[in-house]
Structure 1
Amino acid sequence: MSRFGFLLAATLVTSNAGLLGAVDPSSALEESVLRTQFEKFVADFNRVYKDDDEVAERYEIFKSNIELIAVRNAAEAAAGSTGTHGVTKFADLTQEEFASRYLKTITPEDLAASKAQPGMFEAEATNNSSNSRLRGRQLLATYDQDWTGVYTTAVKNQGYCGSCWAFSVVEQVESDSMRLLGENDDFILSPQELVSCDTSNGNAGCNGGWTTTAYDYIESSGGLVQETAYPYVSGATGTQYSCDTDAILNPLVTVTDYYQYYTESAMAQHVGQVGTLSIAIDASTWASYTSGVMSTCGTSIDHAVQITGVNTDSSNSMGDAYWLVRNSWGTDWGYSGYIYLSYGDNTCGITTIPTYTEVKLTGGTSVPTAAPTAGSGISNTIKNLLREIEDATGLDEQYVVMILVFLIVFVICSCISCCCRQTRPRRQPPVRHVQNPVHQNYGEYPATQGQATLVYTPIQPSAPPASGPYSA
């Protein structure tokens, strides 16, 4: 059996069973098997080629990718990983075509020049930041958290446009809006605004961009509009299009600040306790990912996505500690649009630029119309009040809460004491009875003496002596 034949057999057996099915290794060497699988791939993914020459070209690319998939599976197995590669919707693209269409980030020459502040848990870890908001909060040893469907919108599809940076930023602003402003279906924002209108700081639409400079645009421009106001169209053509200034007149949400992490432990604390993170990453081997926890990839940053979950317990059902990452390649890739990446080893350069934002409603006409669900409303008002007090005083959250509780108890006790004084019956002064002779027909009358009331009770005159023999 040739090396190619062995790799082909291994690849077809470990690929998506729904697409390729089980294949007998002894027959995998035959060209007819590859041809049959290619035809199934074309049917399953609705591929239409312009002529027979392109069909032949795509078939040769498909064969090359089958060998590449087997090499990647061998690397994952050697690393002791559960990550698996197989035939996906990208199997008829060369690596260069895939990168030019889907992997486009423009990394700044100086990452340290970003205006991002240290994240809340990074401040705890380094203890050298003025951001003390969560300093002193108890941290867990392990985390198992998934914000999918809680602080996330549906999986999106960037299409044939290198706009991953725009999708990562929009998804993060959506998630932070749900977390800070209330879970609301109206927080479905427009990636097209960033693709077409954010041309500052080197961002270039379908030719790439960077997350933190996109935050700068959102803040300076007044915010992002909803997807319904500015629908995404660049994915169908790979064209940036000029900015529609009329479509962005009424933004819904804007960014007021953004924060960055530098370590996986701080990232895990955030995702485990707070919410999602936007990240930039090396996704050069992701085209063939199908399942498992992937651990083998490079660190040449070329893609931007969003972390939506973390499990730091290596004994979990996936067989390894992992990050759960939402991609922007549609639900027909990976785990319905998601990928699992190994936790703790800076897999794919995951610590390069993890960020989250603070957001607020713009007050424009494009405002949420649906009522906030549970977890918003008064609870978020209290959270915002606590944050404002913490920022204004520099006190830790626990001390702010203690002071507020003391003030509330003091006010309640004062009110109760006041009410008791108002309703208690006034005490009557004591009454002293004094007997004094009075004239006839003289009734009882009071006389005040100090704090006591003197009541004079008339003394009845003695009866006259009875008549007798000695009476005159």
Structure 2
Amino acid sequence: MGPGVLLLWVWACAGPTGTSLPPELSQAEVTRMFKDFMIQFNRTYRSPAEQHRRFGIFAQSLSTARWLQETELGTGQYGVTRFSDWTDEEFRGVFQSPPPPAMPQAPRRPRGKLPTSCDWRKAGAVTAVKNQGQCRSCWAFAAVSNIESLWNIHFHQPWNLSVQEVLDCSWCGAGCQGGYAWDAFITVLHLRGLTSEAAYPYKGREVKCQQNRKPVAYIQGFQLLPQDEEEIAAHIATEGPITVTLNSAVMKHYKKGISQPLVKNCSPDQVDHVVLVVGYGTVSTRPYWIIKNSWGERWGEKGYYRLYRGRNACGITRFPVTATVHNTEGLRGEIKC
């Protein structure tokens, strides 16, 4: 049975007694959107029954996205994404990590006036957005991206480092079962550095740790930063990008703009996804964070997420952590944000 026939079958079976449709959309409109979704994201399903089930999930995702849009306090836009036919359980199962342990808050440091904006991408310190695939490896991607940026800032060496090495040789993380940025940093310290992505490419699953590796970048340690957004911004502006752990609930539906969801839609107490904050800025008096994700360039703003800054949106202050890299070799001067 071809896709066109399956869509007709879905339309015929997904009425008021089948799938609950968004009240503001007709059955024909939702069916057309589902067809466009299947084409855009190259979806095929193993049976008419499975396609009918996915159509129902898609319709529910539309309702959720429209609710987020109606209650949005910022300029965030929500709608159809590549996750629109996934249940919340499937989404959490692939992209979220288990709840982090309690950790002590880092002390605040004296700091000067905060720069009005900072974007380490413009300084050439941020590597390209990558895609973690079906592996729960956000923790490794965020930590490795952090090291890549810091290494570039201090040494002007734009390495793409091996996430796969962190997964395979993890000292205390759980590979594709999830983990935290500090798990990756401890692994890199244990390994005495990381090799390049080219030498140890990403597979999206755990395999045996390779021993014949040549490190090209290393760290001296890592630190937990103060749970304060001004302190976090000051550190980013002066030292470089950092990792944070967020509630990813609204990210499933995010398309673009500065996301500022209601607290009840994105609780700061339920953080579950690790990302890299590469800068911050302000548009029309609305402050925001610039966040590099690991879901590929077809998600969000070419792989990036802008989140409201100043009210601990989605728990961004819960676990700000960064590797420490120091230029002790007398090489060229550091680049600035």
TM-score between the two structures when normalised by the length of structure 1: 0.62
Aligned length: 311
SS of 2:182's equivalent in the other structure is helix
Counterpart among 164, 167, 178 of residue 195 in structure 1: 167
Q: Which whole-Å CA distance do the structure 2 matches of 1:62 and 1:8 have between them?
A: 14
Superposed displacement of residue 305, structure 1: 0.3
Superposed displacement of residue 379, structure 1: 2.3
Counterpart among 275, 300, 303 of residue 305 in structure 1: 275
Cα-to-partner distance string for 1:367-421 (whole Å, 9 max, x where unaligned):
xxxxxxxxx944249x9xxxxxxxxxxxxxxxxxxxxxxxxxxxxxxxxxxxxxx
Superposed displacement of residue 167, structure 1: 0.3
SS of 2:219's equivalent in the other structure is strand
Look up the match of 2:225.
Answer: 261
Q: Which whole-Å CA distance do the structure 1 matches of 2:118 and 2:326 have between them?
A: 25
SS of 2:275's equivalent in the other structure is strand
Higher RCO (CA-CA < 8 Å; seq separation 6+):
2
Q: Which whole-Å CA distance do the structure 2 matches of 1:377 and 1:256 have between them?
A: 17
| Alpha-carbon distance change, 362 to 218 in structure 1, aligned in 2, over 3 angstroms | farther
Counterpart among 49, 68, 72 of residue 45 in structure 2: 49
Matched, 1:148 2:121: yes
Counterpart among 208, 211, 223 of residue 193 in structure 2: 223
SS of 1:254's equivalent in the other structure is coil
| 1:224-263 map, 5 Å | 224-234=194-204, 239-246=205-212, 249-262=213-226, 263=228
Look up the match of 1:104.
Answer: 97
Do the aligned residues in 1 keep the contact of 2:118 with 2:280 (CA within 8 Å)?
A: yes
Between the two proteins, what is the percent identity of the paired residues?
31
| 1:441-456 map, 5 Å | none
Letter in 1 for 2:167: V
| 1:56-455 map, 5 Å | 56-76=52-72, 80-105=73-98, 107-108=100-101, 110-112=102-104, 122-124=108-110, 138-140=112-114, 143-149=116-122, 150-182=124-156, 184-185=157-158, 187-198=159-170, 200-201=171-172, 203-234=173-204, 239-246=205-212, 249-262=213-226, 263-296=228-261, 297-299=266-268, 300-311=270-281, 313=282, 316-317=283-284, 320-359=286-325, 377-380=331-334
Q: Which whole-Å CA distance do the structure 2 matches of 1:267 and 1:230 have between them?
A: 32
Q: Which whole-Å CA distance do the structure 2 matches of 1:355 and 1:52 have between them?
A: 46
Matched, 1:34 2:30: yes
Letter in 2 for 1:49: Y
Look up the match of 1:24.
Answer: none
Letter in 2 for 1:344: G
Look up the match of 1:460.
Answer: none
Superposed displacement of residue 361, structure 1: 9.0
Superposed displacement of residue 188, structure 1: 0.6
SS of 1:111's equivalent in the other structure is coil
More deviation, 50-59/336-345: 50-59
Q: Which whole-Å CA distance do the structure 2 matches of 1:341 and 1:52 have between them?
A: 39
Q: Which whole-Å CA distance do the structure 2 matches of 1:8 and 1:42 have between them?
A: 22
SS of 1:322's equivalent in the other structure is strand
Superposed displacement of residue 161, structure 1: 0.9
Superposed displacement of residue 8, structure 1: 5.3
Ranges in structure 1 where 5+ consecutive residues have no aligned partner: 10-27, 125-134, 364-375, 384-472
Cα-to-partner distance string for 1:433-472 (whole Å, 9 max, x where unaligned):
xxxxxxxxxxxxxxxxxxxxxxxxxxxxxxxxxxxxxxxx
| Alpha-carbon distance change, 66 to 176 in structure 1, aligned in 2, over 3 angstroms | same
Look up the match of 2:10.
Answer: none
Q: Which whole-Å CA distance do the structure 1 matches of 2:274 and 2:64 have between them?
A: 23
Letter in 2 for 1:161: C
TM-score between the two structures when normalised by the length of structure 2: 0.85
SS of 2:109's equivalent in the other structure is helix
Superposed displacement of residue 360, structure 1: 6.2
Do the aligned residues in 1 keep the contact of 2:138 with 2:273 (CA within 8 Å)?
A: yes
